[in-house]
Amino acid sequence: AAAETKYSRVLLKISGEALMGDQGYGLHPPTVERIAKEVKSVHDLGVEICMVIGGGNIFRGLAGSAQGMERTTADYMGMLATVMNALAMQSKLEELGVYCRVITAIRMDEVAEPYIRRRAVRHLEKKRVCIFAAGTGNPYFTTDTAATLRANEMNCEAIFKGTKVDGVYDCDPRKNDDARRYDRVSYDEVLQKHLNVMDASAIALARDNNLPIIVFSLDEPGGFRGILAGKGTYSIVH
Ligand code: UDP
Protein backbone atom coordinates (compact mmCIF):
# COMPACT_ATOMS: atom_id res chain seq x y z
CA ALA A 1 0.00 0.00 0.00
CA ALA A 2 1.03 3.58 0.54
CA ALA A 3 4.36 4.67 1.98
CA GLU A 4 2.64 5.76 5.18
CA THR A 5 2.12 2.15 6.29
CA LYS A 6 3.81 -1.19 5.85
CA TYR A 7 0.48 -3.00 5.82
CA SER A 8 -1.36 -3.92 2.66
CA ARG A 9 -4.18 -6.12 4.00
CA VAL A 10 -5.52 -6.06 7.54
CA LEU A 11 -8.54 -7.13 9.55
CA LEU A 12 -10.22 -4.73 11.97
CA LYS A 13 -12.14 -6.39 14.78
CA ILE A 14 -14.49 -4.35 16.91
CA SER A 15 -17.03 -5.47 19.46
CA GLY A 16 -20.69 -4.81 18.95
CA GLU A 17 -20.56 -2.58 22.01
CA ALA A 18 -18.24 -0.22 20.13
CA LEU A 19 -21.29 0.76 18.05
CA MET A 20 -23.72 1.54 20.85
CA GLY A 21 -22.25 4.87 21.95
CA ASP A 22 -23.45 5.88 25.41
CA GLN A 23 -26.80 4.18 24.97
CA GLY A 24 -26.00 0.92 26.74
CA TYR A 25 -27.77 -1.08 24.01
CA GLY A 26 -28.14 -1.32 20.26
CA LEU A 27 -26.82 0.87 17.48
CA HIS A 28 -25.94 4.54 17.72
CA PRO A 29 -25.71 5.84 14.14
CA PRO A 30 -23.34 8.76 14.91
CA THR A 31 -20.93 6.27 16.53
CA VAL A 32 -21.20 3.95 13.52
CA GLU A 33 -20.37 6.95 11.34
CA ARG A 34 -17.37 7.91 13.46
CA ILE A 35 -15.90 4.42 13.13
CA ALA A 36 -16.76 4.27 9.42
CA LYS A 37 -14.68 7.44 9.00
CA GLU A 38 -11.74 5.79 10.76
CA VAL A 39 -12.03 2.91 8.30
CA LYS A 40 -12.31 5.26 5.34
CA SER A 41 -9.15 7.11 6.28
CA VAL A 42 -7.22 3.82 6.22
CA HIS A 43 -8.97 2.74 3.01
CA ASP A 44 -7.82 6.05 1.46
CA LEU A 45 -4.22 4.82 1.93
CA GLY A 46 -4.95 1.90 -0.38
CA VAL A 47 -4.93 -0.67 2.41
CA GLU A 48 -7.25 -3.65 1.84
CA ILE A 49 -9.62 -3.94 4.79
CA CYS A 50 -11.56 -6.81 6.30
CA MET A 51 -13.87 -6.19 9.25
CA VAL A 52 -15.50 -8.36 11.85
CA ILE A 53 -18.02 -6.74 14.17
CA GLY A 54 -19.38 -8.47 17.26
CA GLY A 55 -22.98 -8.58 18.32
CA GLY A 56 -22.81 -7.96 22.06
CA ASN A 57 -24.64 -4.62 21.77
CA ILE A 58 -27.73 -6.59 20.72
CA PHE A 59 -27.47 -10.19 21.89
CA ARG A 60 -24.90 -12.58 23.32
CA GLY A 61 -25.40 -16.33 23.31
CA LEU A 62 -23.89 -16.81 26.75
CA ALA A 63 -26.16 -14.20 28.30
CA GLY A 64 -29.20 -15.86 26.73
CA SER A 65 -28.20 -19.31 27.92
CA ALA A 66 -27.49 -18.00 31.43
CA GLN A 67 -31.14 -17.00 31.50
CA GLY A 68 -32.33 -20.45 30.54
CA MET A 69 -32.34 -20.25 26.76
CA GLU A 70 -31.01 -23.24 24.86
CA ARG A 71 -27.37 -22.43 24.10
CA THR A 72 -27.13 -23.11 20.38
CA THR A 73 -30.31 -21.18 19.66
CA ALA A 74 -29.01 -18.28 21.70
CA ASP A 75 -25.74 -18.41 19.76
CA TYR A 76 -27.56 -18.29 16.42
CA MET A 77 -29.39 -15.21 17.71
CA GLY A 78 -26.01 -13.69 18.56
CA MET A 79 -24.76 -14.43 15.06
CA LEU A 80 -27.83 -12.74 13.58
CA ALA A 81 -27.09 -9.70 15.74
CA THR A 82 -23.70 -9.36 14.07
CA VAL A 83 -25.43 -9.21 10.69
CA MET A 84 -27.42 -6.16 11.81
CA ASN A 85 -24.24 -4.43 12.92
CA ALA A 86 -22.52 -5.31 9.65
CA LEU A 87 -25.39 -3.88 7.62
CA ALA A 88 -25.28 -0.65 9.62
CA MET A 89 -21.55 -0.32 8.99
CA GLN A 90 -21.89 -1.15 5.30
CA SER A 91 -24.50 1.51 4.86
CA LYS A 92 -22.35 4.20 6.54
CA LEU A 93 -19.25 3.21 4.60
CA GLU A 94 -21.10 3.41 1.30
CA GLU A 95 -22.54 6.78 2.27
CA LEU A 96 -18.91 7.90 2.64
CA GLY A 97 -18.10 6.53 -0.81
CA VAL A 98 -16.29 3.37 0.32
CA TYR A 99 -17.51 0.29 -1.56
CA CYS A 100 -18.25 -2.52 0.77
CA ARG A 101 -19.66 -6.06 0.93
CA VAL A 102 -21.31 -7.82 3.83
CA ILE A 103 -20.41 -11.50 3.61
CA THR A 104 -22.22 -13.89 5.91
CA ALA A 105 -21.28 -17.29 7.25
CA ILE A 106 -25.00 -18.16 7.35
CA ARG A 107 -26.83 -17.94 4.03
CA MET A 108 -29.37 -15.18 3.69
CA ASP A 109 -29.07 -14.34 0.03
CA GLU A 110 -31.54 -11.47 0.00
CA VAL A 111 -29.55 -9.65 2.67
CA ALA A 112 -25.88 -10.31 1.99
CA GLU A 113 -23.46 -12.50 0.05
CA PRO A 114 -22.62 -15.97 1.26
CA TYR A 115 -19.01 -16.53 2.24
CA ILE A 116 -16.98 -17.88 -0.67
CA ARG A 117 -13.30 -17.43 0.06
CA ARG A 118 -12.04 -16.71 -3.42
CA ARG A 119 -14.84 -14.27 -4.05
CA ALA A 120 -14.00 -12.38 -0.87
CA VAL A 121 -10.34 -12.19 -1.89
CA ARG A 122 -11.42 -10.72 -5.23
CA HIS A 123 -13.47 -8.03 -3.45
CA LEU A 124 -10.42 -7.09 -1.41
CA GLU A 125 -8.27 -6.87 -4.52
CA LYS A 126 -10.86 -4.49 -5.95
CA LYS A 127 -10.50 -2.39 -2.77
CA ARG A 128 -13.94 -3.23 -1.41
CA VAL A 129 -14.15 -3.43 2.35
CA CYS A 130 -15.34 -6.92 3.32
CA ILE A 131 -17.40 -7.14 6.49
CA PHE A 132 -17.58 -10.74 7.61
CA ALA A 133 -20.85 -11.30 9.45
CA ALA A 134 -22.55 -14.14 11.34
CA GLY A 135 -19.29 -15.11 13.00
CA THR A 136 -17.98 -18.51 11.97
CA GLY A 137 -21.53 -19.76 11.40
CA ASN A 138 -21.13 -22.13 14.35
CA PRO A 139 -22.43 -21.93 17.89
CA TYR A 140 -19.90 -22.05 20.75
CA PHE A 141 -17.56 -19.67 18.93
CA THR A 142 -17.18 -15.92 19.19
CA THR A 143 -16.55 -13.14 16.76
CA ASP A 144 -12.95 -13.06 18.05
CA THR A 145 -12.50 -16.58 16.70
CA ALA A 146 -14.28 -15.57 13.51
CA ALA A 147 -11.92 -12.60 13.14
CA THR A 148 -8.87 -14.81 13.55
CA LEU A 149 -10.23 -17.41 11.14
CA ARG A 150 -11.05 -14.87 8.43
CA ALA A 151 -7.78 -12.98 8.89
CA ASN A 152 -5.93 -16.25 8.29
CA GLU A 153 -8.08 -17.21 5.31
CA MET A 154 -7.68 -13.76 3.73
CA ASN A 155 -3.92 -13.73 4.40
CA CYS A 156 -4.13 -10.55 6.44
CA GLU A 157 -0.85 -9.34 7.89
CA ALA A 158 -2.39 -8.62 11.29
CA ILE A 159 -5.60 -8.28 13.26
CA PHE A 160 -6.24 -4.81 14.63
CA LYS A 161 -8.46 -5.06 17.66
CA GLY A 162 -10.06 -1.70 18.38
CA THR A 163 -11.10 -1.40 22.02
CA LYS A 164 -11.80 1.20 24.71
CA VAL A 165 -8.22 1.05 26.00
CA ASP A 166 -4.91 1.62 24.23
CA GLY A 167 -3.45 -1.85 24.60
CA VAL A 168 -3.12 -4.97 26.70
CA TYR A 169 -2.79 -4.39 30.45
CA ASP A 170 -1.94 -6.71 33.32
CA CYS A 171 -5.28 -5.72 34.90
CA ASP A 172 -8.17 -3.45 33.93
CA PRO A 173 -6.72 0.11 33.62
CA ARG A 174 -10.17 1.60 34.11
CA LYS A 175 -10.34 0.03 37.58
CA ASN A 176 -6.67 0.01 38.66
CA ASP A 177 -4.45 3.09 38.68
CA ASP A 178 -1.28 0.99 38.71
CA ALA A 179 -2.23 -1.17 35.73
CA ARG A 180 0.77 -1.80 33.49
CA ARG A 181 0.54 -1.82 29.69
CA TYR A 182 2.55 -4.29 27.62
CA ASP A 183 4.26 -3.00 24.48
CA ARG A 184 4.68 -6.56 23.31
CA VAL A 185 3.35 -9.73 24.86
CA SER A 186 3.43 -13.34 23.68
CA TYR A 187 0.35 -15.40 22.88
CA ASP A 188 1.35 -17.83 25.62
CA GLU A 189 1.60 -15.12 28.26
CA VAL A 190 -1.84 -13.85 27.27
CA LEU A 191 -3.21 -17.38 27.68
CA GLN A 192 -1.36 -18.16 30.91
CA LYS A 193 -2.26 -14.91 32.64
CA HIS A 194 -5.76 -14.76 31.16
CA LEU A 195 -5.07 -11.27 29.85
CA ASN A 196 -8.09 -9.61 28.37
CA VAL A 197 -7.38 -9.54 24.61
CA MET A 198 -9.53 -12.13 22.88
CA ASP A 199 -10.89 -15.48 24.01
CA ALA A 200 -8.51 -18.42 24.30
CA SER A 201 -9.57 -20.19 21.09
CA ALA A 202 -8.92 -17.02 19.10
CA ILE A 203 -5.51 -16.48 20.71
CA ALA A 204 -4.50 -20.08 20.05
CA LEU A 205 -5.59 -19.87 16.42
CA ALA A 206 -3.59 -16.68 15.97
CA ARG A 207 -0.56 -18.22 17.69
CA ASP A 208 -0.60 -21.36 15.57
CA ASN A 209 -0.56 -19.24 12.41
CA ASN A 210 1.78 -16.47 13.58
CA LEU A 211 -0.86 -13.82 13.12
CA PRO A 212 -0.03 -10.71 15.18
CA ILE A 213 -2.84 -9.04 17.13
CA ILE A 214 -2.52 -5.31 17.61
CA VAL A 215 -4.68 -3.87 20.38
CA PHE A 216 -5.40 -0.14 20.22
CA SER A 217 -7.97 2.43 21.29
CA LEU A 218 -10.76 3.29 18.89
CA ASP A 219 -11.63 6.39 20.91
CA GLU A 220 -8.68 8.40 19.58
CA PRO A 221 -9.71 10.31 16.45
CA GLY A 222 -7.47 9.18 13.57
CA GLY A 223 -6.31 6.36 15.82
CA PHE A 224 -6.69 3.49 13.38
CA ARG A 225 -4.71 5.22 10.64
CA GLY A 226 -2.06 6.34 13.13
CA ILE A 227 -1.60 2.81 14.45
CA LEU A 228 -1.18 1.47 10.92
CA ALA A 229 1.59 4.00 10.49
CA GLY A 230 3.18 2.84 13.75
CA LYS A 231 2.19 5.98 15.70
CA GLY A 232 0.41 6.23 19.04
CA THR A 233 0.17 3.69 21.84
CA TYR A 234 -0.77 0.09 21.26
CA SER A 235 0.23 -3.43 22.25
CA ILE A 236 1.31 -6.24 19.97
CA VAL A 237 0.47 -9.83 20.81
CA HIS A 238 2.91 -11.99 18.87
N1 UDP B 1 -21.48 -16.27 17.91
C2 UDP B 1 -21.44 -17.63 17.65
N3 UDP B 1 -20.52 -18.11 16.76
C4 UDP B 1 -19.58 -17.31 16.16
C5 UDP B 1 -19.62 -15.92 16.46
C6 UDP B 1 -20.57 -15.44 17.33
O7 UDP B 1 -22.25 -18.39 18.17
O8 UDP B 1 -18.77 -17.82 15.36
C9 UDP B 1 -22.55 -15.72 18.78
C10 UDP B 1 -22.26 -15.88 20.26
O11 UDP B 1 -23.46 -16.19 20.90
C12 UDP B 1 -21.80 -14.48 20.66
C13 UDP B 1 -22.64 -13.60 19.76
O14 UDP B 1 -22.71 -14.33 18.54
O15 UDP B 1 -22.08 -14.21 22.01
C16 UDP B 1 -22.10 -12.22 19.53
O17 UDP B 1 -20.72 -12.23 19.26
P18 UDP B 1 -19.63 -11.73 20.33
O19 UDP B 1 -20.06 -12.07 21.72
O20 UDP B 1 -18.32 -12.25 19.86
O21 UDP B 1 -19.71 -10.17 20.15
P22 UDP B 1 -18.84 -8.99 20.82
O23 UDP B 1 -18.56 -9.39 22.26
O24 UDP B 1 -17.54 -8.90 20.05
O25 UDP B 1 -19.68 -7.79 20.66
- Let me know: does 58 contact 18? Beta carbons within 8 Å: no
The pLDDT of residue 2: 59
Q: Give domain status of residue 232, yes or no.
A: yes
Q: Give domain status of residue 176, yes or no.
A: yes
Q: What is the CATH number of the domain that holds 199?
A: 3.40.1160.10
Structural domain span for residue 179: 11-237
The Å distance, Cα 62 to ligand 1 centre, comes to 9
Q: State if residue 142 touches ligand 1 by the CB under 6 angstroms criterion.
A: yes
Q: State if residue 61 touches ligand 1 by the CB under 6 angstroms criterion.
A: yes
Report the half-sphere exposure of 106 (CA within 13 A, side-chain side): 16
Q: Give domain status of residue 94, yes or no.
A: yes
Q: Which residues contact 236 (CB under 8 A, 6 or more apart)?
A: 183, 184, 185, 212, 213, 214, 215
The answer to whether the pTM exceeds 0.90 is yes
Q: Whose CA is nearest to atom 18 of ligand 1?
A: 54
The Å distance, Cα 155 to ligand 1 centre, comes to 22
**What kind and span of H or E run contains 63?**
helix 61-66
The pLDDT of residue 27: 98
Q: State if residue 146 touches ligand 1 by the CB under 6 angstroms criterion.
A: yes
Q: Give domain status of residue 4, yes or no.
A: no
CA 7/CA 127 separation, integer angstroms: 14
Q: Give domain status of residue 207, yes or no.
A: yes
The pLDDT of residue 3: 80
Q: Give domain status of residue 54, yes or no.
A: yes
Give the chain's domain count.
Answer: 1
The Å distance, Cα 81 to ligand 1 centre, comes to 8
Q: State if residue 115 touches ligand 1 by the CB under 6 angstroms criterion.
A: no
Q: Give domain status of residue 152, yes or no.
A: yes
Q: Give domain status of residue 1, yes or no.
A: no
Per-residue pLDDT of the chain (238 residues; tens, 9 = 90+): 558 999 999 999 999 999 999 999 999 999 999 999 999 999 999 999 999 999 999 999 999 999 999 999 999 999 999 999 999 999 999 999 999 999 999 999 999 999 999 999 999 999 999 999 999 999 999 999 999 999 999 999 999 999 999 999 999 999 999 999 999 999 999 999 999 999 999 999 999 999 999 999 999 899 999 999 999 999 999 9
